[in-house]
Amino acid sequence: MAVVIVHEWGIPHPDRANLVGLANQRRWRVVDDCAHAFQYGLGLAVQGATVAFSLPKLFPKTGGGLLANPGSVLRDIRRPLPAPAITSLLVEAVRRGERHRANWTRLNRIAIERVLSSLDSPMGETVPQVFRLAIRSQFSAQAVFSDEGIETTPPYYTGWLALPCHSELGDAYWLAIGRALDRLGKPSPALRR
């Protein structure tokens, strides 16, 4: 028997400790699904957790994944790993994670300048996989983003839309996101002075 703990949108499951405790009482295996939470998953893997990673979430691939479990090559990522391919993969994933964090932070700053906000905040080394923009009318906001060529999640979530904030965002994206957020927000009082 096993329990899979999903860390959705890159946000660590808020009740993970309790779920792990219950699973341990029943002698069930715990698998952390970190498809959207790579940096967080690396930390869990180093601590000895069994963690599933999705490669298409990090790299331009159509499939593939990694499963780290106690005793795997991920046992200590601070020292050189015996497998060069895995080492280079992890190094690139960490680099992408750093760029992802920088892009999430930049997007958050741009939203705040327009008196908008995110539903999430970075937690330690973890950054949410998408930027969940708090918005009253997600259907009209989705149309604004679509006009600017920005793909969002479907507008079915109450009060928010998810915007891309991955590691590979170019200048065209930042110009388009600025225009879209200008249409949806308003200048902050501090910017008007």
Percent share of the chain, pLDDT over 70: 80
Long-range contacts of 63-72 (CB under 8 A, 24+ apart): 65/35, 68/41, 72/45
Q: Give the pLDDT confidence score for residue 59 in this predicted structure.
A: 65
Mean pLDDT of 89-118: 86
Question: Residue 82 pLDDT > 70, yes or no?
Answer: no
Query: 49 exposed, middle or buried (CB, 10 Å; 0-12, 13-18, 19+)?
Result: buried
Candidate from 25-34, 48-57, 69-78, 119-128 with smallest mean pLDDT: 69-78
Question: Residue 191 pLDDT > 50, yes or no?
Answer: no
For residue 132, the tally of other CB atoms under 10 A from its CB is: 21
For residue 64, the tally of other CB atoms under 10 A from its CB is: 10
Q: What is the pTM of this model?
A: 0.70
Mean pLDDT of 20-45: 88
Mean pLDDT of 83-93: 65
Domain with CATH 3.90.1150.10 in the chain: 99-192
Question: Residue 122 pLDDT > 80, yes or no?
Answer: no
For residue 35, give the nearest of 69, 58, 61 by alpha carbon.
58
Side-chain-facing half-sphere of 33: CA atoms under 13 Å: 9
Mean pLDDT of 89-94: 72
Handedness of CA 142, 13, 108, 106 (dihedral sign): negative
Q: Give the pLDDT confidence score for residue 78 in this predicted structure.
A: 43
Report d(CA 92, CA 72) in Å as an integer: 19
Q: Give the pLDDT confidence score for residue 192 in this predicted structure.
A: 43
Write the class of the CATH domain 99-192: alpha beta
Report d(CA 149, CA 16) in Å as an integer: 37
Alpha carbon dihedral 41, 110, 170, 102, in 10-degree steps, equals: -30
Residue 158: in which H helix or E strand, if any? none
Q: Give the pLDDT confidence score for residue 76 in this predicted structure.
A: 43
Q: Give the pLDDT confidence score for residue 89 in this predicted structure.
A: 66
Q: Which residues on adjacent β-strands are paired with residue 29? A: 2
Give 161-189 pLDDT, tens digit per residue: 989 887 788 999 999 999 999 999 876 55
